[in-house]
Amino acid sequence: MTTDISADDLAILRELERKVLWLASWTIHHANHVRENVDGLKVGGHQASSASLATIMTALYFHSLRPQDRVAVKPHASPNYHAIQYLVGRQTRERLEGFRGYKGAQSYPSRTKDVDDVDFSTGSVGLGVAQTLFSSLAQDYVRAHGWGTEAPEGRMVALVGDAELDEGNIFEAILEGWKQGLRNCWWIIDYNRQSLDAVVREGLWARFESLFRDFGWNVVILKYGSLLQAAFAEPGGERLRGWIDNCPNQLYSALVFQGGAAWRKRLTEDLGEDIASLIGSRSDDELARLMTNLAGHDLPTLIEAFQANDHDRPTCFIAYTIKGYGLPFAGHKDNHAGLMTPAQMDTFRATMNVRPGQEWERFEGLSIDPDVIQAFLARVPFAQRGERKSVRPISVPDALPVTIQPVMSTQTGFGAILNEIARASEEYAARIVTTSPDVTVSTNLGAWVNRRGLFAREAMADTFKSERVPSTFNWEFSPKGQHIELGIAEMNLFILLSALGLSHAINGERLLPIGTLYDPFIARGLDALNYACYQDARFILVATPSGITLAPEGGAHQSISAPLIGMAQDGLAAFEPAFVDELAVTLSFALAYIQKDGEGEPSERTFSERTWLRDETGGSVYLRLSTRPLEQPQRAMSEELRQGIVDGAYWMREPGPNAQVVVAYAGAVAPEAIQAVGLMAEDRRDVGLLAVTSADRLNAGWTAAQRARERGLVHARSHVERLLSELPPHCGLVTVLDGHPATLAWLGAVAGHRTRSLGVEHFGQTGAIPDLYRHYGIDSEAIVAAAQALTPGRPIRYLRALG
């Protein structure tokens, strides 16, 4: 064995491995059997799942990881992670005792909710794994641009459950990684051959092996531990190896569960005399130890393998493990949620030499002097990394210049604004990185890409250009390029945005990521979007085109629920501007908002709408844009208008004191709303027109103000409450957008106005915009009809004329 580890250190690591197994198991036990269980809910078991990774995590965290490495831990190994951090003094006993409880250590490692410096949140299986791949790409991007090169390159490591590889997003990521020249990425597969429900299919490792190799990964299979390797050299050893290699997963698991006597019986039956001396020289316990000595539970083998892998090629380690290793239900197929009984725990405690009442003591039951262990822990490389620090924000202009054409769509406006930014020499322009899943051109990023180029570590010329074939787009790759072109998989877009959007935390260098896609396909990557937001990644999502307004494209491309996603998704402020000047304001706001310091909880115990809207703590931003060309308002951008746009709404036409109707619209239906107001002006008094730029922020401010009042801040008022405060009680509200009507339906509850909400509830179809707006009832006629039905008064002439 060729490792750099001394025998003394190995002995310490063995003690720490036991300690991790003990503390993780005890933490779960404590949450179920010791802490008062107030609601009768079983607190997830996962003792088996965690135990499966205890050795690998010991080898990594206490030896092989370097301070610059970052790790996504398999969700159910969270107790191991917290135990390891506790041992190095970065997790408190109080939080371990509160595991899975209010403010306790989190069930699944969480960047934002845990205090022990989790690198990547995990929980929804498969996403954390892919996050490491995209984080490696993000690291390459940052360094290729000359930032952060004074720090050493880190490895992005994922600890992967074998059943996690069922998730398709992993394969999408592998393909993308191959295209992008992935480096510095390790995936360590916890090959325990068990999922949640059962034992996995035979020979899965061989599929994994060829798949990873096909995509250019180095594959290291870690199957036998050092005890087994030594036994193979004994008489009959090769037969034993052959037997293990051919043993079905289910049988192996069952024998692991049954223990030494069962091993002896089965091996004797199958191998007879050949193996007599090998078996005969071992007690039942020793035989069980030998047969469970898979490489994933053998520190020397793991340490050697990690040390030997000293290159930057992406590497997949397939590490054989046993689910529940070291625990009474090891190998049992039902053990996923298994919990040791109090009696089993007592036995386990005794074998760990832990005295009752001393369960949390760090060095309890260890056979090495605590001072020696403490000294070892103090020099563990990964624990040398400093505290998280915040990264300075990059200043962004208050106004983004753009030439607004008389008739223009927000999507065209977006392209024009980015084109202008591409010309700018300020730092923020250099820190923008765009990305798109094969819809760069059709979401109008073309001009930006022409100026700033595509990113690749190796330069690649545009052959059309060198061959002088005319083309609108310059498709040249270089290490300085600022656009990362992705394949179509939307999951990859969101996970890349998540990785780029955590660059300040991972690489200490801030990026301003902007991703574009078609609005309906947000749904395709929704869990990855949620994951990105959950771990507080910062990015701008530009979704275009959207709604039934992309009329001839038809129902499969028309988004309906997206505005509700925008409202309901935490950590994502959603905007739907109708006009390009609104978009410019929103984008400038967004570039600053994504850089606000996310540390600390946003407080609602103040009067400030800025705080309620989390303007101080920031988040990501979603812009829902359209390809519909609209006549643009000719107006100056006042400070008041700007603030209204950012806060979610402003009066396009202020209602008079006796207003009978207010039309509130969002997005591309602005012309219909404007026209409807004109059409009813003679028959309804003082009609108002409310432009809603962000139903999400408008709603968030309102609910926060209500909570503030309920807590005693009686004067708290939100933006929308102020906007609607002067409306007479009898005034009717008609809301309209190209999206689900519930997005704006709540407006009626703000000050108790009767409300009719128009929008799209059923799948779209092909057609021209007027056909579709009429069909779904979001045209001006529908708005006027709704107003007439809602408010008393004479019949509205225009509708009468239509007959």
Binding site for ligand TPP (CB under 6 A): 49, 52, 75-76, 124-125, 161-164, 190, 192, 194-196, 323, 336
Pick one of Mg ion, ligand TPP, none as the site partner of residue 17 (Cβ within 5 to 8 A by kind): none
Alpha carbon 237 to its chain centroid, in Å, reads: 47
For the beta carbon of residue 147, count every other beta carbon within 10 angstroms. 18
Which residue is at the shortest CB distance from ligand TPP?
161
Query: Smaller CB distance to ligand TPP: residue 204 or 649?
Result: 204
Q: Provide, rounded to whole angstroms, the least separation between the CB of residue 512 and ligand TPP.
A: 30
**148-176 b/e with 16+ CB inside 10 Å = b?**
beeeebbbbbbbbbbbbbebebbbbbbeb
Q: Provide, rounded to whole angstroms, the least separation between the CB of residue 195 and Mg ion.
A: 6
Query: Smaller CB distance to Mg ion: residue 162 or 781?
Result: 162
Could you tell me whether strands 407-408 and 630-631 are parallel, antiparallel, or unpaired per DSSP bridges? antiparallel
Helix (H) / strand (E) element for 514: namely strand 512-517
Tell me the C-alpha distance between 496 and 591, whole Å: 18
Q: Provide, rounded to whole angstroms, the least separation between the CB of residue 336 and ligand TPP.
A: 6
Pick one of Mg ion, ligand TPP, none as the site partner of residue 116 (Cβ within 5 to 8 A by kind): none
Contacts to Mg ion by CB under 5 A: 161-163, 192, 194
Tell me the C-alpha distance between 598 and 602, whole Å: 9
C-beta of residue 779 within 8 angstroms of C-beta of residue 770: yes
Q: Provide, rounded to whole angstroms, the least separation between the CB of residue 159 and Mg ion.
A: 11
Tell me the C-alpha distance between 13 and 33, whole Å: 29
Helices (H), 215-315: 226-232, 237-246, 249-258, 260-271, 276-280, 284-291, 299-308
Q: Provide, rounded to whole angstroms, the least separation between the CB of residue 46 and ligand TPP.
A: 7
Query: Smaller CB distance to ligand TPP: residue 192 or 516?
Result: 192
Query: Smaller CB distance to ligand TPP: residue 49 or 503?
Result: 49
Pick one of Mg ion, ligand TPP, none as the site partner of residue 619 (Cβ within 5 to 8 A by kind): none
Tokens of 592: 């600053």
Helix axis angle, 490-500 to 168-180, nearest 10°: 70
Pick one of Mg ion, ligand TPP, none as the site partner of residue 15 (Cβ within 5 to 8 A by kind): none
Query: Smaller CB distance to Mg ion: residue 162 or 609?
Result: 162
Tell me the C-alpha distance between 686 and 666, whole Å: 21
Q: Provide, rounded to whole angstroms, the least separation between the CB of residue 126 and Mg ion.
A: 13
Query: Smaller CB distance to ligand TPP: residue 524 or 614?
Result: 524
Query: Smaller CB distance to ligand TPP: residue 222 or 649?
Result: 222
Pick one of ligand TPP, Mg ion, none as the site partner of residue 378 (Cβ within 5 to 8 A by kind): none
Query: Smaller CB distance to ligand TPP: residue 111 or 642?
Result: 111
Helix (H) / strand (E) element for 186: namely strand 185-191
Q: Provide, rounded to whole angstroms, the least separation between the CB of residue 623 and Mg ion.
A: 40
Pick one of ligand TPP, Mg ion, none as the site partner of residue 172 (Cβ within 5 to 8 A by kind): none
Q: Provide, rounded to whole angstroms, the least separation between the CB of residue 323 and Mg ion.
A: 6
For the beta carbon of residue 527, count every other beta carbon within 10 angstroms. 17
Q: Which residues pair with 478 in a beta bridge?
A: 455
Strands (E), 614-700: 620-624, 630-631, 649-653, 661-666, 688-692
Pick one of ligand TPP, Mg ion, none as the site partner of residue 110 (Cβ within 5 to 8 A by kind): none
Tokens of 769: 């915009």
Pick one of Mg ion, ligand TPP, none as the site partner of residue 145 (Cβ within 5 to 8 A by kind): none
Query: Smaller CB distance to ligand TPP: residue 50 or 791?
Result: 50
Tell me the C-alpha distance between 782 and 792, whole Å: 17
For the beta carbon of residue 272, count every other beta carbon within 10 angstroms. 11
Pick one of Mg ion, ligand TPP, none as the site partner of residue 76 (Cβ within 5 to 8 A by kind): ligand TPP
Tell me the C-alpha distance between 34 and 96, whole Å: 13
Query: Smaller CB distance to ligand TPP: residue 331 or 415?
Result: 331
Pick one of Mg ion, ligand TPP, none as the site partner of residue 125 (Cβ within 5 to 8 A by kind): ligand TPP
Using CA atoms, how far residue 321 sits from 52, 84, 97, 758, 789, in Å, is 6, 19, 28, 57, 69
Q: Provide, rounded to whole angstroms, the least separation between the CB of residue 132 and ligand TPP.
A: 15
Q: Provide, rounded to whole angstroms, the least separation between the CB of residue 196 and Mg ion.
A: 8
Q: Provide, rounded to whole angstroms, the least separation between the CB of residue 769 and ligand TPP.
A: 38
Pick one of ligand TPP, Mg ion, none as the site partner of residue 124 (Cβ within 5 to 8 A by kind): ligand TPP
Query: Smaller CB distance to ligand TPP: residue 170 or 687?
Result: 170
